[in-house]
Amino acid sequence: MTAALQVQDLNRSFGALNVTRDVTMTLERGARCALIGPNGAGKTTLVNLITGVLRPSSGTVLLNGEDITALSQAVRARRGLARTFQINQLFRGLSVLENICMAIGERDGENNNMWRSAGAKRSVIDEALDHLDSLRLVDDALRLVRELPYGRQRLVEIAIALAQKPRVLLLDEPAAGVPSSESHLILDVVANLDPDIAVLIIEHDMDVVFRFAREIVVLVQGAVFTQGTPKEIMSNEDVRAVYLGQEGHDAVQRGGRHG
């Protein structure tokens, strides 16, 4: 069976700075993979390369076995590659329902229609409401996104990506900035995603990573440092050194400031 997503020898440099170096990784169908690594490791850059926001300097990206390296972001999205953003990218002046309908409309090509009224296709609205239902957002359906509390906006961020009916879903720190009292809402959604979707999640919270992921890729300075099952990663001394080194560094800085 072909993998849902394959990244081969991916490189990207900005001038002399190599932010992605020879990254090779595979997401099987239904994968639950976590991408971790210290700040500045190039995690978001990798997502941008996979989704087509950025073009790689070299290397290939395969979606269901097809080479999509030369395709635009929009074409990749229509072929089943969806993402969420680390910082919300929502249609803030529109209602929650309209946000979801937007994604469905683009997926179905409905948004090319200039003549029919946007509300005329009941199936689109019903599907959007089903998505909202499963994320318990129906009561907010008619509220403008910008009026929602941040945690709920984060849910809409995921709901839009799910409405694309993706085969591969990239979640860029889905719970970032959400108060801990609300983060369980988002983590529940992440834990209950359709088992057929291959999911790559970027996350800093190790509890989330170990609860969610069946495999972990550790990225350090743009290159794959190591990859394996959560158990392997947890017991890997080198990974600890990377993280402890980071934390040790922070602790020293903190100590220095106070002392």
Contact footprint for other proteins (CB under 8 A): 51, 53, 72-78, 82-83, 85, 89-95, 97-98, 101-103, 105-107, 110-122, 125-126, 129-130, 133, 138-139, 141-142, 160, 164
In the complex, what is the shortest distance from the CB of residue 218 to other proteins, in angstroms, rounded to a whole number? 26
DSSP class of residue 33 equals E
Residues 36, 217 contacting (CB under 8 angstroms): yes
Tally of CA atoms within 13 A in the half-sphere of 20 that contains its CB: 25
In the complex, what is the shortest distance from the CB of residue 71 to other proteins, in angstroms, rounded to a whole number? 11
Coil vs helix vs strand at 184: helix
Taking each helix axis as running N to C, give the angle between helix 122-134 and helix 150-163, from 0 to 180 degrees, rounded to the nearest 10.
130
In the complex, what is the shortest distance from the CB of residue 133 to other proteins, in angstroms, rounded to a whole number? 7
Residue with smaller CB distance to other proteins, 130 or 247:
130
Residue with smaller CB distance to other proteins, 25 or 161:
161
Distance separating alpha carbons of residues 44 and 31, to the nearest angstrom: 19
DSSP class of residue 217 equals E
Residue with smaller CB distance to other proteins, 4 or 239:
4
Q: Looking at this protein, which amino acid is placed at residue 72? A: S
In the complex, what is the shortest distance from the CB of residue 146 to other proteins, in angstroms, rounded to a whole number? 10
Taking each helix axis as running N to C, give the angle between helix 150-163 and helix 96-108, from 0 to 180 degrees, rounded to the nearest 10.
20
Residue with smaller CB distance to other proteins, 104 or 213:
104
Residue with smaller CB distance to other proteins, 18 or 95:
95
Residue with smaller CB distance to other proteins, 169 or 190:
169
In the complex, what is the shortest distance from the CB of residue 135 to other proteins, in angstroms, rounded to a whole number? 13
Please report the DSSP string for 59-101 in residue order: EEEEETTEE-TTS-HHHHHHTTEEE--SS----TTSBHHHHHH
In the complex, what is the shortest distance from the CB of residue 150 to other proteins, in angstroms, rounded to a whole number? 16
Residues 165, 106 contacting (CB under 8 angstroms): no
